Amino acid sequence: MIPVNKPFLPPKEYFVSQLDDIWERTWLTNNGPNVRLLEEKLQNYLNLSNKVVLVNNGTIALQIAIKALDLKGQIITTPFSYVATASSIVWESCEPVFADIDKDTFNIDVKSIESLISYNTVGIIGTHVFGNPCDIKAINQLAHANDLKVIYDAAHAFSVKYEEQSIFNYGDISTASLHATKLYHCIEGGFVATSDMSFVRKCELMRNFGHDGPYQYSELGINGKNSEFHAAMGLVNLEFIDRVIAKRKSLVNVYESLLSELPITFQRWELGATRNYAYMPILFESEKQLIKTTAFLEANEINTRRYFYPTLDQLPYLSTSDRIPVAREVARRIICLPLYYDLSVSKVEMICELIKSSMKHN
Ligand SMILES: Cc1ncc(COP(=O)(O)O)c(C=O)c1O
């Protein structure tokens, strides 16, 4: 079976050599040297002016971001994202209000955001879907004009640059997921990035129960700490990330050239942004076509993923929205194809052949 995703693992000895230091120090968690070194290395690698605060996953990063910005009320967000984008809002006792998305970029639509701003709106959370930057300039203008905070869920966007700057330099806060399935990972992990040093301090306190000294608590906090073992994986994987991206790029190029003649659509990438080749989404002309092709691939031992499906307004604890026709339509017709470091060009060629033959017999 060809999976849709397979986590990258470095040569085992690289990770094992990190373990000796951990054993030597016997410092396993609680803001240890590996965590601090990884924060510094991420900042350098991403060429970030914003400061990175490492946490234990991308969901906690979103929750801490919402809490640090003190958002209380309605947050306009995208229904075409992973569940964590919306569930974090609900978890923080705010109300997600779903804007529609752009049919070509799959990102939150700025006109739709504008139409939903009300007296109760306190912020906007946009996801850079599949790593493709949102319309950052327009969102920032809108937020500025309406005094709204902006959080970018950049879980998919590691290493992407927008207008020559790291994607994590945008918004009041940007968040990352460093989960095992992500382009770059530390098994479980995430971070928040922000330029405002008062938010940095807040996030640092919040990830550590609000501890401000052994007996003092200056914020409401949570356990958002990451361990030395996770950070060690992050340190090692950072040495391989350029190789990982280059390999994925070569696979995406093969997919895009072999599938280009078919009646499917690729995601339109935002102008002025670099790509990170984290996902290989394709949009079919109909859901029927999607079901037929994915069943055929499955029968040939190839996994695909309906990502994201269904739209987040369908969550049982939220009410459905009739204002998101584009998101509904995209969610019905999109899949992600297998893409990971260990995948070979010949396997990608075979997957493309199978897709072609399934679609020919329509
Ligand atoms: C868009 C998006 N946001 C948030 C998350 C949550 O990240 P994590 O799994 O690290 O909690 C994910 C991860 O799957 C994601 O894809």
Ligand 1: does its nearest atom lie under 6 Å from the Cβ of 85? yes
Residues 118 and 223 in one domain: yes
Which tokens go with 276?
Answer: 């990170």
Domains in the chain, number: 2
* Domain annotation covers residue 329: yes
* Domain annotation covers residue 221: yes
Which among 214, 236, 258 is the end of a domain? 236
For residue 84, report the distance from its CA to the centre of ligand 1, in Å: 6
Residues 281 and 214 in one domain: no
- For 87, residues 6+ apart whose C-beta sits below 8 A from its C-beta are 59, 315
Residue 281 near residue 106 (C-beta atoms within 8 A): yes
Q: What is the pLDDT of residue 321?
A: 86
Quote the CA–CA distance of 342 and 328 in Å, as a whole number: 33
* Domain annotation covers residue 3: no
Quote the CA–CA distance of 126 and 47 in Å, as a whole number: 22
Please identify, by atom number, the ligand 1 atom nearest to the C-alpha of residue 127. Answer: 1
Q: What is the pLDDT of residue 144?
A: 98
Residues 217 and 147 in one domain: yes
- For 25, residues 6+ apart whose C-beta sits below 8 A from its C-beta are 32, 33, 228
Please identify, by atom number, the ligand 1 atom nearest to the C-alpha of residue 88. Answer: 4
Conformation bin of residue 47: beta by default, left when phi > 0, alpha when psi is -120 to 50: left
Residues 208 and 164 in one domain: yes
Residue 227 near residue 207 (C-beta atoms within 8 A): no
Quote the CA–CA distance of 35 and 361 in Å, as a whole number: 53
Ligand 1: does its nearest atom lie under 6 Å from the Cβ of 58? yes
Q: What is the pLDDT of residue 163?
A: 95
Quote the CA–CA distance of 38 and 53 in Å, as a whole number: 10
Structure confidence by residue, pLDDT tens digits, 185-208 = 999 999 999 988 999 999 999 999
Ligand 1: does its nearest atom lie under 6 Å from the Cβ of 63? no
Residues 78 and 135 in one domain: yes
Residues 59 and 180 in one domain: yes
Residues 283 and 149 in one domain: no
pLDDT, mean of each 10-residue run, the chain (362 residues): 97 96 96 97 92 97 98 98 98 98 98 98 98 98 98 98 96 97 98 93 97 95 98 98 98 98 97 97 97 97 97 95 95 98 98 95 64
Determine the structural domain holding residue 90 and report its residue range: 12-236
For residue 153, report the distance from its CA to the centre of ligand 1, in Å: 8
Residues 218 and 250 in one domain: no
DSSP structure class, residue 301: T
> Where residue 216 sits, what CATH number does that domain have?
3.40.640.10
Ligand 1: does its nearest atom lie under 6 Å from the Cβ of 177? yes
Which among 220, 236, 252 is the end of a domain? 236
Please identify, by atom number, the ligand 1 atom nearest to the C-alpha of residue 84. Answer: 4
Q: What is the pLDDT of residue 53?
A: 98
Which among 190, 209, 236 is the end of a domain? 236
Q: What is the pLDDT of residue 362?
A: 59
Quote the CA–CA distance of 275 and 266 in Å, as a whole number: 13
- In the block, residue with structure tokens 């410092």: 27
Residues 38 and 136 in one domain: yes
